Chain A
Amino acid sequence: MIEMFEVWKTYPNGTNALKGINIRIEKGEFVYVVGPSGAGKSTFIKLMHREEKPSKGQIFLGGFNLSRIKERQIPLVRRSIGVVFQDFKLLPTLTVFENVAFAMEVIESSPKQIKPRVMDVLGQVKLKHKAKMLPSELSGGEQQRVALARALVNSPGIIIADEPTGNLDPETSWEIMKLFEEINQRGTTVVMATHNREIVNTMKKRVIAIEAGQIARDEQRGEYGYED
């Protein structure tokens, strides 16, 4: 499903964010990506939805070779995966419904398909009753649920999340994490970068630890393993 071979990422300022990453993530897996700040977790995530381009090496994701892809194909890659960000990245002028519908409009779905599907996903994240509100009227946890609904609405095979609970309190974090767990149980691959040791240690999933741009650990049913 996701494969990386000898992937390097060097930023224009000379920083080597990733140094020779090799990884294989199977369809339906749930993977936590952990590691100290600045170790390269975010870069790892950004490479997957092609926000960044690898400097060296090959990345295969859902039938695309992300190292060789043309500029105009990038939107196609991004449509095949759902992405959730730490800062939610909702459009502030659009309502909850419109924010989720936007991801469907992008792929030119018909309004007839959009309405029931958006309400369906909003139901999954338990926000149907707030469909007409603006993001600014919601709590952080609710905003992240909207972002999750947006990531899910086109039924992608992969969901990528960059510290989705980073801005949330522990209780809300658990709610969000349960939603990810549900999504994964329905067959969607989940790759999540996180700093939340409690969650990682409790969930007992595959853990990939990135340190100084390299993979330090890759364990099934792993633990967070850092004191921070």
Chain B
Amino acid sequence: MKIRTLGRHVREGVKNLGRNGWMSFASISAVSITLFILGVFLILAMNVNYFAQSVEKQVEIRVFLDVLATKENVAQVEQNIKTIPKVDTVTFIPKEEGLKQFKESLGEKAYLFEGLEKDNPLPDTLVVKTKDPKDTSVVAAQIKKLEYVKNLNYGEGTVEKLFAWTGAIRNVGIAFIIGLGFTAMFLIANTIKLTIVARRREIEIMKLVGATNWFIRWPFFVEGLLMGIIGGLIPTAMLTIGYYYLLDGIQSSFEAAQLFKLLPLFPLVYQVAMALLAIGAFIGIWGSLVSVRRFLRV
């Protein structure tokens, strides 16, 4: 195919959008509306995931060391924990620091523990975070076996339940997105099919004057691509503006800001835009090519 012909196909595809004004409008609307709904769910699912992640990140293992352990022993334990592959960070909290933190958490009643500095009853503590929060219990079991480790605490039981919940929420989210994605594809492809059925005569005439199948397909390809992209841009713009105001509204109220920790506008909107445009373009092209194929046999 000559470059000039490609130019012709692109021009023709663009013109066809205008020539079939109402049909294009119907298709673009169908794409926009379904992708808008998909986008809303996408943003929702991403935020739920973000929330689950931030909850999971708070999971840590507090390792209480033997009060008799020397500084060298402590350093050795810290080193041993660091060599476990699944461990991300190890923070050492000496017993003095531990007491200070404890008193701070008591607030006004801190005076009850005045004078304990000299004879600190608290053990030295190591705070361990794993790379993947789901490995917490496995890592905890490994640490427990180490020498000078007296005890440890990571919220056993509660943590497992938490992970079960966050996992379930994620799966439901993914299932929803996939289901919605298929519905969107079906709906859009159907609308595009209708607009092309209306033009079967046109395709028949093109064939009768000697157009090759690809010569007929190309403008439809361009047209489908454009419809998909326009149909993706509209909901992207709406969702970006909507999300911006949602964030703005939440941040203006202190309580709401504490309660709902949402993903920042960027890069969320980029990701959503990419997803919607890609789906739109794919469905647009696929819908038109599949529909044209039915009428090429003349």
Binding site for B on A (CB under 8 A): 49, 51, 72, 75-79, 83, 85, 89-94, 102-103, 105-108, 110-111, 150
Contacts and interface: CB of A to CB of B under 8 A. Distances in A.
Interface stretch (B55-63, B203-211, B262-270): B203-211
A75 B212 contact: yes
A83 B209 CA distance: 8
Contacts of A72: 212
Given A78-B209, A90-B205, 16 more contacts: A75-B210, A75-B211, A76-B210, A79-B209, A79-B210, A83-B209, A91-B205, A91-B206, A93-B19, A93-B202, A102-B206, A103-B209, A106-B211, A108-B1, A108-B2, A111-B4
A92 B20 CA distance: 11
A107 B212 contact: no
18 contacts: A49-B208, A51-B208, A75-B207, A75-B211, A77-B210, A78-B207, A89-B208, A90-B205, A91-B206, A92-B202, A93-B16, A102-B209, A103-B210, A105-B8, A106-B210, A106-B211, A106-B212, A108-B5
Interface string B219-260: 000000000000000000000000000000000000000000
Contact of B20 (A77, A85, A93): A93
B112 interface: no
B2 A78 contact: no
Contact of A78 (B1, B5, B20, B208): B208
A83 B208 contact: yes
A85 B206 CA distance: 14
Interface in B1-19: 1-2, 4-5, 8, 16, 19
Interface in B181-206: 201-202, 204-206
Contacts of A91: 202, 205-206
A49 B212 CA distance: 14
5 A-B pairs with the lowest CB-CB distances in the bound complex, closest first: A78-B210, A79-B210, A93-B19, A106-B211, A75-B210
B282 interface: no
Given A93-B19, A93-B20, A93-B202, A106 B209 contact: yes
A165 B10 CA distance: 37
A99 to B, nearest CB: 9
B68 interface: no
B275 to A, nearest CB: 34
Interface of B: 1-2, 4-5, 8, 16, 19-20, 201-202, 204-212, 215, 298
Contact of A89 (B20, B205, B212): B205
Nearest to B18: A93
A47 B69 CA distance: 100
B4 A107 contact: no
Contacts of A49: 208
Contacts of B207: 75, 78
B205 A110 contact: no
Contacts of B298: 51
A56 B204 CA distance: 25
Given A93-B19, A93-B20, A150 B209 contact: yes
A90 B16 CA distance: 16
A107 B5 CA distance: 10
A148 B118 CA distance: 110
Nearest to B5: A108
A105 B8 CA distance: 8
Nearest to B12: A105
B10 to A, nearest CB: 13
Contacts of B2: 108
Contacts of A93: 16, 19-20, 202
A47 to B, nearest CB: 14
Contacts of B206: 91, 102, 106
A71 B19 CA distance: 31
A75 B20 CA distance: 26
Q: Which of A77, A106, A107 has the most CB of B within 10 A?
A: A106
Nearest to B211: A106
A107 B210 contact: yes
Contacts of B5: 105, 108
Q: Which of B1, B2, B20, B207 has the most CB of A within 10 A?
A: B207
A99 B156 CA distance: 77
B4 A108 contact: yes
A79 B208 CA distance: 9
A110 B4 contact: yes
A78 B202 CA distance: 16
A85 to B, nearest CB: 8
A76 B212 CA distance: 9
Contacts of B215: 75, 106
Contacts of B208: 49, 51, 78, 83, 85, 89
